[in-house]
Amino acid sequence: MNRQRLDIAIVGAGMVGLAQAALLAVRHPQLQIAVLEASTEAPQVSDTHHDPRVVALTGASRALLEEVGVWEQIGARACPYTEMRVWDAEGTGSVCFNSRDVQLPDLGHIVENNVVVSALRACLEALPHVELVTGFRLESWWRDCGLWHLQPRSDRVNVIEGLEENSEILRTRLLIGADGARSRVRDLLHIRCRDTDYHQTALVCVAECEKPHQHTARQRFLKSGPLAFLPLAGLGDDRHCAVVWSADETLARELVMLDDQAFALNLEKAFESRLGNIISVSERFSFPLRARHAESYYGPGAVLIGDAAHSIHPLAGQGVNLGLQDVQVLSEEIARALKRGLDPADTSVLARYQRRRRGDNAATLKAMSTFKSLFGAGDLHWRWLRNTGLSMVDASPLLKKRIILRAMAV
């Protein structure tokens, strides 16, 4: 691998950056690709406990992971869910989506983040012209003669494997920013971002429940935010769920301070004991929730994908699915450029990618913000409206089918 003249450098080895590298490498084995990752830690998949950070993957996301050959490895730890139940804590409105409504075997799969990341990393190791460079935190850059010169942070603790101190600069024609919600690439491109603070924090953990989850994803909308129990697979029982509790900041701070037993009791009460007693809870992690949308997805020779371009409230579990759709569309545009003898870093190529993705992502962001406001509103009119809305959707098979197919992006 000639790190001084790469075709494509991808900054960020999260699910989206790794998937982008894998898809491009599988479809275009001639391209020289490097993935630059700030962290030096490899994700660990445990045989005895689940990673509390999970994603609900749609059929379209699964198809992408199948194409790059990692689904088989992920499979045993992916929990298919056949039903999704959503209900309002302040009223009687509820809706139940079932995979039978759309004649499909499931509505999607719940998978631990570290399982997906490990599988994608293993996939890259087996591909000849793609390399993962860890310990490379992109700090600065300059561009001349159509080449980006990328420089890592100089106070880094770990010496990058295989790179001499004074030859750390990597050079590439196309730069893809997949470096998450606080993207350095986006900053270096001077791309502004629309930023909405939800004043909520998502607490995530794994709960062992008394009753089996029955392959059902459940979400209760409380006034302080949605609480989701997502079914998990792979450790020999069906009583473990990933919990995502999005709560207003004050409540979240109180919940974080509780000991495990008190937290489990609060959780059980907030969830109306729908899965019986909470037997145990794992370590808790918290994530402040903000919606961000980059005003542009590209600059000269550089493009943003995944959370670097857009990040949304987790209430509909769409974040990484939108990112993987970016991956699919950018790969299609790069393929189209290569077929026509165009440089994939050409502005016209990146502008086409933006045209195909930005409107779609903006619509999803808007829908999530509307849901969040609707379910956070406490007055009688809004309560009546959302409870009536949920019941109306539940009573209309056609509407349910359209919502499911839209959410599954199939």
Q: How far is the CB of 37 from ligand FAD (least distance, A)?
A: 5
Judged by CB, which is closer to ligand FAD: 175, or 383? 175
CA dist list (Å): 90 to 219, 265, 301, 353, 385: 13, 20, 50, 42, 12
Does 320 engage in binding with ligand FAD (CB under 6 A)? Answer: yes
Judged by CB, which is closer to ligand FAD: 361, or 383? 361
Does 244 engage in binding with ligand FAD (CB under 6 A)? Answer: yes
Q: How far is the CB of 232 from ligand FAD (least distance, A)?
A: 12
SS3 of 164, please? coil
Does 55 engage in binding with ligand FAD (CB under 6 A)? Answer: yes
Judged by CB, which is closer to ligand FAD: 315, or 383? 315
Q: Of the candidates 282, 321, 325, 364, which one interacts with ligand FAD according to CB under 6 A?
A: 321
Q: How far is the CB of 396 from ligand FAD (least distance, A)?
A: 25
Distance CA 290, CA 314 (A): 10
**Token couple for 178:** 């997949």
CA dist list (Å): 240 to 105, 273, 373: 21, 14, 30
Closest CA to 407 of 112, 108, 64, 116: 108
Judged by CB, which is closer to ligand FAD: 206, or 244? 244
Q: How far is the CB of 264 from ligand FAD (least distance, A)?
A: 19
Site for ligand FAD in 85-124 (CB under 6 A): none
Does 252 engage in binding with ligand FAD (CB under 6 A)? Answer: no
Q: How far is the CB of 184 from ligand FAD (least distance, A)?
A: 4
Judged by CB, which is closer to ligand FAD: 97, or 136? 136
Does 243 engage in binding with ligand FAD (CB under 6 A)? Answer: no
Given the structure tokens 């086409």, which residue do they identify? 352
C-beta of residue 55 within 8 angstroms of C-beta of residue 113: yes
Q: How far is the CB of 79 from ligand FAD (least distance, A)?
A: 12
List, as own/partner pairs, every contact residues 140-145 make where C-beta atoms lie below 8 angstroms and the sequence separation is at least 24, other chains included.
140/188, 141/175, 141/188, 143/300, 143/301
Q: Which of left, alpha, beta for 19 (phi over 0: left; psi -120 to 50: alpha)?
A: alpha
Does 10 engage in binding with ligand FAD (CB under 6 A)? Answer: no
Site for ligand FAD in 163-222 (CB under 6 A): 178-180, 184, 202, 204
Q: Say which residues have a Cβ less than 8 Å from residue 114's Cβ, sequence separation at least 6.
A: 43, 44, 45, 51, 53
Number of amino acids touching ligand FAD (CB under 6 A): 33
AA identity, residue 76: A
C-beta of residue 298 within 8 angstroms of C-beta of residue 186: no
C-beta of residue 177 within 8 angstroms of C-beta of residue 302: yes
Does 231 engage in binding with ligand FAD (CB under 6 A)? Answer: no
Site for ligand FAD in 33-52 (CB under 6 A): 36-39
Q: How far is the CB of 319 from ligand FAD (least distance, A)?
A: 3
Chain positions contacting ligand FAD, by CB under 6 A: 11-17, 36-39, 55-56, 136-138, 178-180, 184, 202, 204, 244, 287, 306-307, 314, 317-321, 323
